[in-house]
Amino acid sequence: MYAPVESNQGFNFKPELPTSSAYYRLLKKLRRQVGHAIRDYNMIEDGDKVMVCVSGGKDSYTLLDILLQFKRIAPINFDVVAVNLDQKQPGFPEDILPRYMEENNIPYYILEKDTYTITKRLTPEGKTYCAVCSRLRRGSLYGFAQEIGATKVALGHHRDDIMATFFLNLFHGGSLKAMPPKLLSSDKKNILIRPLAYVEEKDIIKYADLRQFPIIPCNLCGSQENLQRAIINDMLREWDKQHPKRLHSIFGALQNVSPSQLADRELFDFEALDAQREFDMKDPEELKNRLDVVNLSFAAE
């Protein structure tokens, strides 16, 4: 399901760093946004071993690259190791990622599991692969994180992914939830972090192009038609063109939740409001006079 990628198709696995002012402005912006996300959610601490899940796409390459830069300049000590899950999809260029990691002296593991065949078998005819594929992928990667002693698992989801997930759940799942920047896995064994949470996809596209990452296209999910996530992404891109500040406002809303202004009885105790009400009973006579005035006004009507 992968588009054929030849080993010698022209990739420079260790290209010279760009020198343009546009590159350095973008790099400064990405570093600032990633740094703020790490700080705001306490994502990385001294002594951490961060396992970066690398798929071969623009997002995970960018995440790995920025974290390696932080490792060199950060005031704390932490390790970064890249892990790729080879899902055994036909045509997958197995040499691309190992060659990139080795030529750039990046510690890495290639985890081989045939989740492709399982996904194809378990997905009903006409349904998308996403649910089964992501569940199998998460299980494999999270288990491997335990094996290598990783204290954090870094995922390449960016700001637009977080908002797309929010709207998918809103439109099709009947729930208000997205992808949090930091999360304890459901088995409570892994801390998941998303350092690109503040980064816009369009900036990642520019950065990956400037850095000439050897992108491996994945067509397992992308080849399916009428994916709801693709529809949502198109909606977000159109909003960004027509209303440049709208996406910034939406993401800000995800960080500024008022439980008392929604309707979730598990999230907010509406029954306790009566007990919390405060009465000003310092002057009962004045209160009685106010009520008399109100009653007279009703009678006049």
- Decide: helix, strand or coil at residue 296: helix
CB 9 within 8 A of CB 95: no
Taking residues 35-43, report their average pLDDT: 98
Give the H/E segment covering residue 85: strand 79-86
- The predicted structure's pLDDT at residue 128: 65
- 221 labeled part of a ligand binding site: yes
Greatest mean pLDDT among 7-11, 105-109, 132-136, 184-188 lies in 105-109
The more confidently predicted of residues 297 and 74 is 74
Q: What CA–CA distance (Å, rounded) separates 38 from 43?
A: 5
pLDDT at 234 over 70: yes
For 262-295, write each residue's pLDDT tens digit: 999 999 999 999 888 877 656 666 666 766 666 6
Q: What is the sign, positive or negative, of the torsion defined by CA atoms of 145, 151, 155, 161? A: positive
**How far apart are the C-alpha atoms of 259 and 146, rounded to whole Å?**
35
Q: Which two tokens stand for residue 256?
A: 């500024």
Instruction: Look over the chain and give the mean of its residue pLDDT values, rounded to a whole number.
Output: 87
Question: Confidence class of residue 200 from pLDDT cuts 50, 70 and 90?
Answer: very high
**CATH fold for the domain made of 19-220:** Rossmann fold (3.40.50)
Helix, strand or coil for residue 194? coil
Q: Is 53 annotated as a binding residue?
A: no
Percentage of residues of the chain with pLDDT beyond 70: 83
